[in-house]
Structure 1
Amino acid sequence: MHTLHFIRSALLLLLSFCLGGVCNAQAAQNSAEPAAVVRGVPTERSAPVQAVAKADIPATARGSQGRILFILASSKVHGKSALPASISFGEVVHAWDTFRAAGYAVDFVSPDGGAVPILDSYVSADLVPRLKDAPLMDGLRNTARPAQIDPALYRAVYYVGGSNALYGVPENPVLQDIAMYVYERNGGVISAVCHGTAGIVNLTLADGRALVAGKRITGFPEEHEEQDAAYFKEFPFLIRRTVQARGGSFHAQDGHQPYIEVDGRVATGQNYASAKPLAEAVVGLLRKLAEQSPGRGATQG
């Protein structure tokens, strides 16, 4: 009996040890994933932000603050018409190249997820070879849906222009939450180029003010549109007029030369030619923020 009691006690002790080891191993695995922490970057949010669902991003990237989120439109037509619409391929490529060269990872999101429209007329001859760039094109064919995105991963958002940028993006509440989380909780940068500026006109700070209020903003102004064309009649709003109505100061120049405005952590570009200098300006802002917050610099991915 004593022998049997000893064996039973030993088995129970061994079982307890094994179960404790499994639990401790699982706890160690869970604690290996770092939490998003804002260090030394001033934020403008006083109320908590509701987190958006985590994206299907490789675990090795989770927790990194070296990612930039490209926000693109899904619409293939202008408004309710049958007029074809597209993202601006060059505004993707030139910014992608700049951000990647600076060591930042890039992800894509669109209202509907999946492939975004790319019309031939939006692909200049020098960029045709990039249509075979596998990493780039895989991203554009498989954009995430807004609910898949974890905004804690990103240091900046970049609103891409194109003729479809006024549809689906500006009024999407989840995309708005993502952008404002990056800006207010992560202390990150909001950027937009050309018609992509339409995406930021409805963004609102935690205190209720419009993001653009009191800021110098640029984008593709309505006076540069073909106002007698059918596509223009489909526009739900006008960029310059809406920025001004929200309290922003809109600036643009004549011609097709690059023109950007950087006001605090909001950076905007007027036209297609502004994509690269805008991306360079965003990189500059992120480097300054990284200097203020050591340990949150760029990550290659």
Structure 2
Amino acid sequence: MSKKILMVVTNADKLEQHDTGLWLSEFVEPATEFKEAGFEVTAASMNGGRIPIDPNSYSNELPRVWDGVMEPIHDTPRLSEINPEEYDGIFFCGGHGTMVDFPDNDTIEEILRHFITENKLISSVCHGPSGFIGVTDHNDQPFVKGRKMTGFTNEEEKQTGLESVVPFSMEDRLREEGAVFETGEAFKDHVVVERNLVTGQNPQSSLSTAQVVIEQFKTAKPE
């Protein structure tokens, strides 16, 4: 039976005066890998509907193979309408838009609690871990407390020139909640695995993060 992956994406299209949204490759590259592995992919967002794409994430020509893969983000269901019991894993895609509508989000917390409690696979890339901020487990402890993980770093934020625009430092907030935040070289592929949590640092890590997720499913012990 094929695995079902829930991919969570942002609806936010503005960061102050800057156009933002989903960083396209952080959905398309993992979704392509998941589909090629035979997984069923669903994309969901806070408000549903068509997902805004960060204009900086478009290349001059998108690979033709991406056309079909992009279909799920043309009209997404609301995350609140999703039954998490139907999914084997969850993947939080990045883009600066996530800094607006992912943190301290009650709907995300409710969905994530299921994956935490059931010890299902949880994964993210780049700014995706902003969805972990404010999420507590069934013991009322921060989800990230004591967990090794990564995500878009302070150094990378500084290099984008958006350090003063983002509402907070994601790396700092995750550290404050107890995450053992591991930083690799800026804009180089870096993935961290901690039990059922798989995190990638930046857009360059999108593909390998998905590949690690697939590998985790392959090596998981039968229940």
- After TM superposition, the score normalised by the length of structure 2 is 0.92
- For the residues of structure 1 that align with 2:65 and 2:52, how far apart are their CA atoms? 15
What do you get for the CA RMSD once the two structures are aligned? Answer: 1.9
The 1:159–1:104 alpha-carbon spacing in structure 2 relative to 1, beyond 3 Å, is: same
Contact preservation (8 Å) 1:86, 1:164: yes
SS in structure 2 at match of 1:163: coil
Distance (whole Å) between structure 2 residues aligned to residue 269 and residue 257 of structure 1: 10
Distance 1:182 1:156 in 2: 7
Q: How does 1:267-278 map to 2 (within 5 A)?
A: 267-278=198-209
Match for residue 150 of structure 2 among 214, 218, 222: 218
- Where 1:74 maps in the other structure, the secondary structure is coil
| C-alpha contact 2:125 2:206 (8 A) present in aligned 1 | yes
Higher percent of residues as strand? 2
1:15-54, aligned counterparts within 5 Å?
A: none
Which SS does the other structure have where 2:14 is aligned? coil
Partner of 2:91: 158
SS at match of 1:181: helix
In structure 2, what residue type is equivalent to 1:198? S
Kept after mapping to 2: 8 A contact 1:156/1:183: no
Among 19, 36, 58, the alignment partner of 1:123 is 58
Deviations 1:247-272 (A, max 9, x none): 11111122322101000001100111
Aligned amino acid, residue 10 of structure 2 = A
Q: Report sequence identity in percent.
A: 25
Match of 1:208 among 140, 146, 159: 140
Match of 2:216 in 1: 285
Per-residue CA deviations over 1:249-301 (Å, capped at 9, x if unaligned) read 11112232210100000110011111111111111222233x322xxxxxxxx
Mapped pair 1:168 → 2:101:
yes
Structure 1 distance, partners of 2:57, 2:160, is: 21
> How far did 1:147 drift?
1.8
Query: Does residue 249 in structure 1 map to residue 176 in structure 2?
Result: no
Q: Report the Cα distance in structure 2 between the residues aligned to 1:65 and 1:97, rounded to whole angstroms.
A: 15
More helix, by proportion? 1
In 2, Cα distance between the equivalents of 1:273 and 1:216?
19
Tell me, yes or no, if the aligned pair for 2:123 and 2:197 is still in contact at 8 Å: yes
Aligned partner of residue 292 in structure 1, secondary structure: coil
Contact 2:105 2:131 in 1 (8 A): no
* Structure 1 partner of 2:164: 233
Q: Give the Å deviation of 1:227.
A: 7.1
In 2: Cα distance, 1:200 partner to 1:65 partner: 27
The aligned amino acid for 2:206 is A
In 2: Cα distance, 1:105 partner to 1:175 partner:
21
Quick one: which amino acid aligns to residue 75 of structure 1? Answer: A
Partner of 1:77: 14
Q: Which has the larger radius of gyration?
A: 1
Figure out how many residues of one structure are paired with residues of the other and give that number: 223
Query: What is the TM-score with the length of structure 1 in the denominator?
Result: 0.69
Contact 1:72 1:116 in 2 (8 A): yes
Which amino acid in the other structure matches residue 283 of structure 1? I
Report deviation, 1:128: 4.6
Q: Offset at 1:126?
A: 5.7
Instruction: Tell me how far apart the structure 2 counterparts of residues 86 and 178 of structure 1 sit (CA, whole Å).
Output: 22
Moved more, 118-127 or 277-286: 118-127
Structure 1 position 93 matched with structure 2 position 28 = yes
- Supply the distance in 2 between the matched residues of 1:275 and 1:112 (Cα, whole angstroms): 24
- Is 1:111 the counterpart of 2:55? The answer is no
The residue that corresponds to 1:139 in the other structure is 72
